[in-house]
A and B are shown apart, each in its own frame.
Chain A
């Protein structure tokens, strides 16, 4: 029953949004002067923005195909007039396509002019947070719906801040390692600890609220497919937390110590790269779980 095309389209859209948001946010707030990683950040911003656009188009196409009963029916002009003019879904996604096109334009222009970076943060951030308007947070009406949507939006923003920062950090950690760039990497990782901690607290608290809406009773975590996949996602999250805690408590302090003492920090740098890569991989798998969960009947509805 899972629509593979739709899941793939959603995953590309979500992953690209997180990467684009991270690239713009890092360029704006984290690394104004980091010349060593700027070209790679710019390329990341351009490629991920294009993927956001392609992904949002693919979501619209896959959803239309699901409605019409197959990809063969997509040539029908009547289908598209219904989708674009008679459905809220079509209108919401048309707006997203427009915003994604703006994001691509901003990414291309910001390669030349820094002021557009902030516009990129806003465009990518708006697209990311408004994913809350497109999914299961739309099912409840009234006050419960508002609470669920806000919790979902905060959850998305926190996930974007954490996951989005990982690739810029990898750029920083793998930049031609001079003493200077390694010190910069250590400094920024320490600075991000507080932001990361806030993101984790927000993810946990809003995750509990969302689960309450979508799962209901704890027993449904185990005896519905939706609940079981949510448990898989929680395990991935726990793995990310473990790696992040290792960085914070052990590897970043070790790197800082070695750099201060002018010791060889190569081993610590390598270990940190490995940890951050692992965090990123688990995060992408969590996004894949999210893409699948969006296509499943929430546990509160199944069997009802």
Chain B
């Protein structure tokens, strides 16, 4: 009985799913990059699939004003990727992207990065 209990406990502990916190892996435009062309969309890749209901993306321009985020959607083919369509790029300078997202651990994570537009 004891051995069965121990074995069952060990099996569960070994096989359990990992609850990692959501983290940004890459983005396009990349964090700290300088781009010449106005990006058609922002793409953010996370370390794990994220929950579509809880993804938010906000972009602040060089003048400190928020840009209009038309949509921020999880890629149905790869749920680790989020595509955001943002209107209002144009002015040269640094744009700050703030994101929040949660994965299977239900822990909402936030982050931000910047890239520079220099046409």
Specify which chain B residues have a CB less than 8 angstroms from the CB of A132 in the assembled complex.
13
Q: How far is the CB of A233 from chain B (nearest CB, A)?
A: 22
Q: Is the CB of B9 within 8 A of A129?
A: yes
Q: How far is the CB of B73 from chain A (nearest CB, A)?
A: 15
Q: How far is the CB of B52 from chain A (nearest CB, A)?
A: 8
Q: Knowing that A133-B13, A139-B19 touch, tell me 19 more A-B residue pairs with CB under 8 angstroms.
A: A63-B106, A67-B107, A67-B108, A68-B54, A69-B108, A79-B53, A87-B105, A88-B17, A88-B105, A89-B107, A132-B13, A138-B16, A138-B105, A140-B18, A141-B20, A146-B14, A149-B16, A150-B10, A153-B13
Q: How far is the CB of B76 from chain A (nearest CB, A)?
A: 14
Q: Pick from A78, A86, A130, A139: contact of B12, CB below 8 A.
A: A130
Q: Is the CB of B14 within 8 A of A89?
A: no
Specify which chain A residues have a CB less than 8 angstroms from the CB of B104 in the assembled complex.
86-89
Given A82-B53, A134-B19, also A87-B106 (CB < 8 A):
yes
Q: Pick from A86, A126, A130, A138: contact of B18, CB below 8 A.
A: A138
Specify which chain B residues have a CB less than 8 angstroms from the CB of A78 in the assembled complex.
53
Specify which chain A residues have a CB less than 8 angstroms from the CB of B82 in the assembled complex.
none
Specify which chain A residues have a CB less than 8 angstroms from the CB of B10 in the assembled complex.
150
Which residues of chain A (91-112) have a CB below 8 Å from chain B? Answer: 92
Specify which chain A residues have a CB less than 8 angstroms from the CB of B16 in the assembled complex.
133, 138, 149
Specify which chain A residues have a CB less than 8 angstroms from the CB of B53 in the assembled complex.
78-79, 82
Specify which chain B residues have a CB less than 8 angstroms from the CB of A129 in the assembled complex.
9
Specify which chain A residues have a CB less than 8 angstroms from the CB of B12 in the assembled complex.
130, 133
Whether B102 is near chain A, meaning CB under 8 Å from some CB there, is yes
Specify which chain B residues have a CB less than 8 angstroms from the CB of A68 in the assembled complex.
54
In Å, the complex CA distance between A79 and B52 comes to 11
Specify which chain A residues have a CB less than 8 angstroms from the CB of B107 in the assembled complex.
63, 66-67, 89
Q: Is the CB of A138 within 8 A of B20?
A: yes
User: Which residues of A line the B interface, CB within 8 A?
Assistant: 63-64, 66-69, 78-79, 82-83, 86-90, 92, 122, 126, 129-130, 132-134, 138-141, 145-146, 149-150, 153, 301
In Å, the complex CA distance between A69 and B54 comes to 9
Q: Pick from B9, B14, B18, B106: contact of A90, CB below 8 A.
A: B106
- 24 inter-chain pairs at a CB distance below 8 angstroms, sorted by A residue, are A66-B106, A67-B54, A67-B106, A68-B54, A78-B53, A82-B54, A83-B106, A87-B103, A87-B104, A87-B105, A88-B19, A89-B19, A89-B107, A90-B106, A132-B13, A133-B13, A133-B16, A139-B20, A139-B21, A141-B18, A141-B20, A149-B14, A150-B13, A153-B13
In Å, the complex CA distance between A82 and B54 comes to 10
Specify which chain A residues have a CB less than 8 angstroms from the CB of B19 in the assembled complex.
88-89, 134, 138-139
Whether B58 is near chain A, meaning CB under 8 Å from some CB there, is no
Given A122-B5, A153-B9, also A64-B20 (CB < 8 A):
no
Specify which chain A residues have a CB less than 8 angstroms from the CB of B30 in the assembled complex.
none
